[in-house]
Structure 1
């Protein structure tokens, strides 16, 4: 076996994220069962990075939905928050608790009626916690266009972390937005481009998507569509992958598939 075949294949974290002088911009899309859990994990990551003398994260949460009765219990909302935008509720809570100045967008992450991309849509890291394939393809198109045009240089999209699930299964996939520079390595075989989830697993996403998108009227209805702990489990594991990008400066894993019903996890290697 040659030396090249013995090398571990890895992706080195983009240097702009490791050597940041300003907080890393993050767009979190979706404030539901998974997104609400991911936001809390991002706040913990930000605090840990600050303690390690890193500039930390600057998060913007996108969601045009309001808190409904069916959200109570399975998602991180209280009865007194009914009718309020989910993004506003969650961001205010995080800002009060952690002393951050993160922002809420009570609208969808999409182009406007004239076909223009909102300025706020450009961030170094995009995290999607959405429940339909069409939205994912829309995100992919926006990220590709932003990277190509490179309008906002300091916030050029670099990574896309996508969360998706059905009732008891789910996946988290890390992608790069374009080719990211990789340092030369004697020890590792480096990969600078990780494919979009929409390119690699578009058919799988379509199959796993919930066929019934009727709004749930109660927690019992919601639990019939998604298990109580699938969102939280995906959020913790997926954010651990993001944390390792910062902490270790590289990763040999670009995601995983989870089956919570029989407690199986299958890593997806670089």
Structure 2
């Protein structure tokens, strides 16, 4: 009788430098707007929880050169007392006071004009919460260059990208280099997760450009992005990161979200070409 060999489920297994590091994991968070502010708060909660579980926690640097404007109030996490301040400074100061952390605000744009690009880009995990397609390609270029040129402790390994329209969005986790996978009889281990700028390059390049005209009020801002799309998407991404740090094995690498119809679709770990490890 002929037996059918069952296909092993593909997974990505995280290395010990994430699960059991000797020092806090360095995180670069790019963007302090609607999504970035929500992600920062989630990271702060995650950091406190990790430390209480015996993990060294996280060291976050927040990059943004924008200042708080009236239209940011309400949809983004700012108050009238913070008008005119750099977004990154306002958010980091608040997080440090509340959680007792020592995270850093970088009041500059994350691009090729950073004073010390290798040092600025060297973080084990990079999280981007940016609006422009061009910014994603710049981030991808900087990260891939840093991987080849920087060999210090905080060498880039993962990139999580958030993107959204008015009522929909996605969060996608990528690897910046092959992550060594252990032998497994139960799973098909995948050592590389494709970059969003490669896997969805055509979609990004030919996507309809969003209206980048600055909003003058909260009411006008809400016509461009729903009140809860940023926080909902941030929670999905934070849940994925929590699995990364605590469980060390991923079956999904992100999701697509449609908040209007209350639909979320997981993005499964898959084998891409030869970018996988067999056991």
**TM-score normalised over the length of structure 1:** 0.95
Residue deviations 1:201-256, cap 9 Å, x none? 12333455652100110011111110000000000111100111111111000110
SS at 2:223 equivalent: helix
Separation in 1 of the partners of 2:207 and 2:234? 18
Q: Deviations along 1:1-57, whole A, 9 cap, x unmatched? A: 314x1x111000122111101000000000000000000000011011001100000
Deviations 1:91-139 (A, max 9, x none): 000000000000000000111289x625222100000000011000001
- After superposition, the Cα gap between the structure-2 partners of 1:240 and 1:82, relative to the gap in structure 1 and judged at 3 Å, is same
The aligned residue for residue 246 of structure 2 is 247
Instruction: State the match for 1:134 in structure 2.
Output: 134
- Consecutive unaligned residues in structure 2, runs of 5 or more: 270-279
Q: Tell me the matched-pair count.
A: 266
Counterpart position of 1:188: 187
User: 3-state DSSP class of the match of 1:204?
Assistant: helix
Over 6 Å off, 4+ runs: none
Q: Distance in 2 between matches of 1:113 and 1:15?
A: 31
SS of residue matched to 1:45: helix
Per the alignment, residue 82 of structure 2 pairs with 81
What are the ranges of 5 or more consecutive residues in structure 1 without an aligned counterpart?
A: none
Whether the 8 Å CA contact 1:111–1:118 is kept in 2: the answer is no
Q: Distance in 2 between matches of 1:97 and 1:113?
A: 29
The corresponding residue for 1:2 is 5
Cα offset for 1:150? 2.5
C-alpha contact (below 8 Å) 1:256/1:267 kept by paired residues: yes
TM superposition score normalised by structure 2: 0.92
Aligned to 1:261: 260
Asked whether the equivalents of residues 166 and 209 of structure 1 are also in contact (C-alpha less than 8 Å), the reply is no
Higher-helix-fraction structure: 1
In structure 2, do the counterparts of structure 1 residues 234 and 168 end up closer, same or farther at CA, with 3 Å as the change threshold?
same
> Per-residue displacement from partner, 1:148-204 (whole Å, max 9, x unpaired)?
1124x2010000000000000000000000111011111111000000000011233
